[in-house]
Amino acid sequence: MDERIPRDFETLRATILDRRESLPKRIAQIAAYALDNPDDIAFGTAASIAASAGVQPSTLIRFAQQLGFDGFTSLQQVFRERLRERNSSYDERLQALRAKAEGGAGHRAIFDGFVAAASTSLNDISRTLDDAHLEEAISLLAKAQTIYVLAKRRSYPVATYIAYALGKLKIRNQLIESAAGLNAEMIAFATPADAVIAISFSPYAPATIEEARTISEQGVPIVAITDSSFSPLAQFARVWFEVAEADFAGFRSLSATMALAMALTVGVGEKRRDTARRRKA
Amino acid sequence: MDERIPRDFETLRATILDRRESLPKRIAQIAAYALDNPDDIAFGTAASIAASAGVQPSTLIRFAQQLGFDGFTSLQQVFRERLRERNSSYDERLQALRAKAEGGAGHRAIFDGFVAAASTSLNDISRTLDDAHLEEAISLLAKAQTIYVLAKRRSYPVATYIAYALGKLKIRNQLIESAAGLNAEMIAFATPADAVIAISFSPYAPATIEEARTISEQGVPIVAITDSSFSPLAQFARVWFEVAEADFAGFRSLSATMALAMALTVGVGEKRRDTARRRKA
DNA sequence: TATGGATTGGAATTATTATTTCATATTCCC
DNA sequence: GGGAATATGAAATAATAATTCCAATCCATA
């Protein structure tokens, strides 16, 4: 009776799962239904939910009370809150999580922060990405003999994933790494029949900018992924994408960039297959 | 009176925006409120919404009727449906997008697919991540003299990002790359005072598994990120995380893994700072 | 198999909420 | 500026929904 009542959905879920064994049959039935159809609980009336779950309304109320709520209505609040949360602007959630992490709320808060930053970035990019640019970039890259991938530091992980994916799709590509110090030579091989994917975010790695400049002066078309129209990359690029990644604890998400990178890669793969097929026919 | 009533939120929104000019003052007021706070409309009662919007409940009903609904309740349905839709399991959306992309629906569909895969993965991991494991992994890594980062192929981008972040946080680390072919030697340096972050997903890169085995036999504790309890990595690991990444067009998302990786990295950074501070005091 | 306690179903009750109504105010047009 | 049409506010009413209660049933245990 004086147990702690779950205030948020995850706690509630855990509580239910925890007690599942010890619940009476009908109560267990409604418990299972609740976890399977949380939306119905959020919106339905006691009677309608009870009917869908095949129990009496009173059972539903007993279920709520057993969990410590004082009735169905307060149980329902938790299910509604869940929908609100999920839907609430990720920005607000990020704010809150940042404050929480600052306040030393433990490592879970840090993790949640990174998840929220990633989600925000994904939301953002799917709102802002321009379809025409995507098409243009893919056509351009699909025509290239070799695709050069250019990125350093923070953007480097994206470059390695692009290179990996291009490799799997059997698309000739060259990752421009700095390790061996042979970048200049590597770049010298690129011709206007090739193409470059360049990725750089503020603060722009000077080497990336320099290499992009050189390569664009050789007449090689560049597709750039960067973070603003003022980016030095943008001026060298034939097509460029503005990607705003949310940051957390000083590190930016890469999710949006990754999603775009993969779309470009797979897009090129598809385009080539289409072209090949059409040529045969 | 016999106008078409909007059945979905977007249509409703358009209708409202369209008529905005011609609506009476109070009705316009509630209309603006509705578009600004759709969640409140979905969940509130006529009275509570009216109060928040600064109008009478009757006005709210008139607003609904003016739009062709027969009362507030049916207007509210549209706002609720919207939340349901938005929330409809990402899995279903993914299914749909996959089908769409298969059907050759253009490159935007591919992009959307990657975004959806990333979102699904993030959702998933924030549900399943175990806080205790996170704490344990961070403590373990925080004590290490050097953190070795071990990953190949698909997981390699994550490793490079971890290495980058550790570097920025001034935490000694060593990325085990295969390029130079000196992995065995590198690994030989690791001692039980160090620690490893190993990342591998099915199909597990044999080199990663081999290296993990060797290093664990040297008594170096391993934190693993992998995709199932059957993973060969799990058996060598002191702590391991199961991360299920959704895939699209044959490539898996890395978002969840990235978020976890960053949480580990920044968590270690914080833990070290705390420890240092405590020592001073 | 009898007995006590827990569980369940269903109707009665109570509370809450949407809707209607009507008096009053405002606006717009002649 | 006057009058009709429209809009608004407030309270009354109707509808709907949550909760309670009690009898019936089930289940474990002796």
Q: End-to-end alpha-carbon separation of chain A, Å?
A: 75
Model pLDDT for residues B194-216, shown as the tens digit of each residue: 999 999 998 888 888 989 999 99
pLDDT confidence band for B149 (50 / 70 / 90): very high
Structure tokens given for B246: 């959704």
Tokens 């044959």 map to which residue? B250
Contacts of A246 (CB under 8 A, 6+ apart): A90, A94, A116, A117, A118, A120, A121, A124, A252, A253
Q: Which of B107, B136, B138, B155 to mutate to test the interface with A (most CBs of A within 10 A)?
A: B107
What radius of gyration do chain B's Cα atoms show? Answer: 27
Per-window interface: B 215-254 vs A, CB < 8 A? 248-251, 253-254
Q: What is the pLDDT of residue B249?
A: 87
Please give the Cα distance from B47 to B229 (Å, whole number): 52
Question: A147 pairs with which residues across the strands?
Answer: A173, A195
- pLDDT reported for residue A1: 36
- Cα–Cα dist A162/A177, whole Å: 13
B110 and A135 in contact by Cβ < 8 A?
no
CA-to-CA distance for B145 and A115, rounded, in angstroms?
A: 28
B65 touches B54 (CB < 8 A): no
- The reply to whether A77 has its C-beta less than 7 Å from any atom of strand C is no
- Pairs of CB atoms within 8 A across A/B: 160
The reply to whether the CB atom of residue B61 sits less than 7 A from any atom in nucleic acid chain C is yes
B109 → chain A, closest CA residue:
A263
Q: What integer pLDDT is reported at residue A172 of this predicted model?
A: 95
Most distant CA pair in chain A: distance in Å? 78
The residues of B between 215 and 244 with beta carbon within 7 Å of nucleic strand D are: none
Could you give phi then psi for residue A105, rounded to 5 degrees?
-85, 20
Residues lying close to strand C (Cβ under 7 A), chosen from 75-114 of chain B, are 76
Residue length of chain A: 281
Q: How far apart are CA A47 and CA B202, in angstroms?
A: 47
The arithmetic mean of pLDDT across residues B244-256, rounded, is 92
Task: Look at strands A247-248 and A251-252 and give their pairing.
Answer: antiparallel
Digit-coded pLDDT (tens) for B158-189:
999 999 999 999 999 999 876 555 677 788 88
SS3 A85: helix
Across the interface, of A129, A254, A270, the residue whose CB is closest to B258 is A254
The pair of structure tokens assigned to B25 is 């003052």
**CB distance B259 to B125 below 8 Å:** yes
CA-based nearest distance A97→chain B, Å: 13
Strands annotated E in chain B: 147-151, 173-176, 195-199, 222-226, 239-242, 247-248, 251-252
- Write out chain A residues lying below 8 Å of B248, CB-based: 262
Q: What six digits make up the tokens of A272?
A: 């080539």
In sequence order, the 6+-apart residues with CB closer than 8 A to the CB of B123 are: B90
Q: What is the pLDDT, as a whole number, of residue B241?
A: 95
Strand nucleotide closest to residue B72 (CA to C1') = C18
Mean pLDDT by 10 residues, chain A (281 residues): 67 84 85 87 90 90 88 90 72 68 76 92 89 94 96 93 95 80 78 95 88 94 90 91 91 95 95 84 74
In this complex, the answer to whether residue A24 has its CB under 7 A from any atom of chain D, a nucleic strand, is no
Q: Is the peptide bond before B203 cis (omega within 30 degrees of 0)?
A: yes
Positions of strand D less than 7 angstroms from a protein CB: 6-11, 16-22, 27
**Closest chain A residue by Cα to residue B76:** A43
Average pLDDT over residues B91-120: 78
* Residue to test with chain B: of A97, A254, A260, most B Cβ within 10 A: A254
Q: How many residues does chain B have?
A: 281
Both tokens assigned to B15: 């209708």
Which of B1, B72, B3, B4 lies closest to B42 in space, CA to CA?
Answer: B72
B97 in Cβ contact with B113 (< 8 Å): yes
Give the up-direction half-sphere exposure of residue B21: CA atoms within 13 A in the CB hemisphere: 1
- Chain centre to alpha carbon of residue A64: 35
pLDDT at B1: 36
Q: Is the dihedral of CA B201, B203, B207, B213 positive or negative?
A: positive
Which structural domains are found in chain B, ordered by start? 9-87 (1.10.10.10), 129-280 (3.40.50.10490)
**pLDDT given for residue A181 in this prediction:** 57
* Confidence grade of residue B94 (pLDDT, cut at 50, 70, 90): low
Contact A172, A146 (CB under 8 A): yes
How close A158 comes to chain B (CA, Å)? Answer: 7
Cβ of residue B103 closer than 8 Å to a chain A Cβ: no
Q: In which order are the strands placed within the sheet that holds B239-242? A: B173-176, B147-151, B195-199, B222-226, B239-242
The residue type found at B261 is: A
User: Tokens 């119905």 sit at which residue?
Assistant: A40
Q: What is the pLDDT of residues B45-87, one digit of tens each?
A: 889 999 988 888 999 999 998 888 888 999 999 898 888 876 5
Whether B266 sits inside 8 A of A255 (CB atoms) is no
- Torsions phi, psi of B16, nearest 5? -65, -50
